[in-house]
Structure 1
């Protein structure tokens, strides 16, 4: 079944569910009518959902669409997603084209609330289109993985705070206080990351990952990006035989010490690449969080925890 038919089937099922529930409302909606419930917010990705929880605190009820370790690039919305969006007052997205499915989902859900694009105002890295990649998206204009630079995360949470305050003006002071606290934590994360890489010799700062998700991180902390198993900003491309051979040669020539797998992608190709290059593969519990966060309730289940994990794992492996 093609993607359009899958989506139409999901939309139809969701519409029936929403219609069946009309009149009773969700708990969030019922409380809002009485003036006492938390603001109902749908957030697309784990990172954005964590930002909303930190800025909104107890005054928001967050429905997170994409669960941990699910690839956001080719996500297919479910009937439950449409129902959640139909019941929400605010939808928050990461932006920069990461959620290609969102506009049509919002339209199918009949959503009439506010959509907050958390990427607004972020200086974007240019994307690329690798002509040798099979299955890559044409016309990749900008890198959507903006959150890997904590300075961008500060812009994202400021956008979220503005969106929540506009939707719930009576809670604006609380949102502003939460933003100030969380912004200080982002500053601390950025300073700690800088200090960690300052202890690593410059000629050791070479990164090989599963896919090209760490461009903003590489740029922020002065790393050298050697290459990726998937030669694309999204995860649908494949490495050709020649590209694989070339990447192995580049790893050897640059002296890169490891290939880093990612939590939301299968590690097999990264493991094979590392074997051919004769370097360590970093996978399993040490896999990087490129497109996702860890499981809820773990330190890595938060943006701050996942980014600290990434830095600790990268610095430890590259220090050798």
Structure 2
């Protein structure tokens, strides 16, 4: 659990991102057979070694964000090579501006995973500018049935994570049917062994703390709270304003202060990558009132963590805070 607020908060402006001329020119000119990922992109197998040494087919995969990229890497094993565009914890996926290297990487991809729901509109622009030939695409928002304007943070929903795992595996088998049995085995291992601590924590928290009231700094926490059976008291209008980079209302801020001072919430959870003065003040007030405070982050932290390492650490922080608050 982090004990301090990082000094480099995200921007949070959900504005339409314009492409630089170099990136657009490259999209138009790079051959669709390119497969080389840019340096530092993090393309690797689950073992951390670039795929391709086995002599068989290797699917070139691009994930807009590294939380989906980590899952795609582990499900594909040595039959895939995954490049995640957003891999730096200091980068805001909302307002990211693609580079020429990103355009080249997407051009060479056979399979692209984007979050959608307005979260990574820049990725949609890359795909529409460079439709490719025979490329498969997964938009998580479309898969889980969340339309633009809904909560985009679907990697914090345990149920949606399971849906993505199913879909990625099915897509890998369709793209490379000769390795279907291999992908089935990767999925089984990932779900039953690799994700076991993650699944166990979710189950334990839900069984022990379901219905416990919590407060949060933004809407990133909402899908996780729902998955854990916790009751979010923070007004949705405040959560959305913080996620979208707009100013919360004075009425919402006053209500949250009152919830903290009257101890209506048992714990307070904030996104440490998006700490505004309002969030810092709320976390400080919660601590002063004896309410446990814990953090989550937008993307993998540290950047070289796996999805399950990252999520398990955060779930342990939430579980510890709930135990401290309730004595259970």
TM-score range relative to shorter protein: 0.7 to 0.9
Q: TM-score, normalization: structure 2? A: 0.75
The 3 A distance-change label for structure 1 pair 75 and 257 is same
Separation of aligned partners in 2, 1:281 and 1:23: 54
Alignment of 1:315 with 2:319, yes or no, is yes
Count of residue pairs the alignment pairs up: 289
2:204 alignment partner in structure 1: 195
Q: TM-score, normalization: structure 1? A: 0.77
Alignment of 1:226 with 2:233, yes or no, is yes
2:6 alignment partner in structure 1: none
Quick one: which of 74, 85, 109 aligns to 1:88? 109
Which stretch of the first structure deviates more once superposed, 38-47 or 211-220? 211-220
Quick one: which of 229, 236, 252 aligns to 2:245? 236
Which stretch of the first structure deviates more once superposed, 224-233 or 239-248? 224-233
> 1:63: Cα distance to partner?
0.8
Alignment of 1:57 with 2:65, yes or no, is no
1:1-320, aligned counterparts within 5 Å? Answer: 6-12=18-24, 14-15=26-27, 19=29, 22=31, 25-27=34-36, 36=56, 38-69=58-89, 70-112=91-133, 113-119=135-141, 121-122=143-144, 124=146, 140=149, 142-184=150-192, 185-186=194-195, 189-200=198-209, 205-227=212-234, 230-232=238-240, 234-266=243-275, 268-276=277-285, 278-279=288-289, 287-289=295-297, 291-297=298-304, 301-320=305-324
> 1:310: Cα distance to partner?
1.9
Q: Do 1:258 and 1:279's aligned partners in 2 also have CA atoms closer than 8 Å? A: no
Separation of aligned partners in 1, 2:160 and 2:16: 33
Separation of aligned partners in 2, 1:273 and 1:60: 44
The 3 A distance-change label for structure 1 pair 57 and 263 is farther
Separation of aligned partners in 1, 2:320 and 2:36: 46
Structure 1 stretches lacking a partner, 5+ long: 128-138
The 3 A distance-change label for structure 1 pair 81 and 49 is same
> 1:27: Cα distance to partner?
4.4
What is the root-mean-square deviation of aligned Cα atoms in Å? Answer: 3.2
> 1:268: Cα distance to partner?
4.2
> 1:244: Cα distance to partner?
1.3
Q: Do 1:82 and 1:108's aligned partners in 2 also have CA atoms closer than 8 Å? A: no
- Higher RCO (C-alpha under 8 Å, 6+ residues apart): 2
Q: Do 1:211 and 1:231's aligned partners in 2 also have CA atoms closer than 8 Å? A: yes
> 1:280: Cα distance to partner?
5.9
Structure 2 stretches lacking a partner, 5+ long: 1-14, 38-50
> 1:153: Cα distance to partner?
1.1
The 3 A distance-change label for structure 1 pair 315 and 267 is farther
Separation of aligned partners in 2, 1:23 and 1:256: 53
The 3 A distance-change label for structure 1 pair 66 and 281 is farther
Q: Structure 1 residue runs of 4+, over 4 Å off? A: 21-24, 280-283
Q: Secondary structure of the equivalent of 1:43? A: strand
Separation of aligned partners in 2, 1:190 and 1:122: 19
C-alpha offsets along residues 178-212 of structure 1, whole Å, 9 cap, x if unaligned?
A: 01111224465233322134344x67x23222211
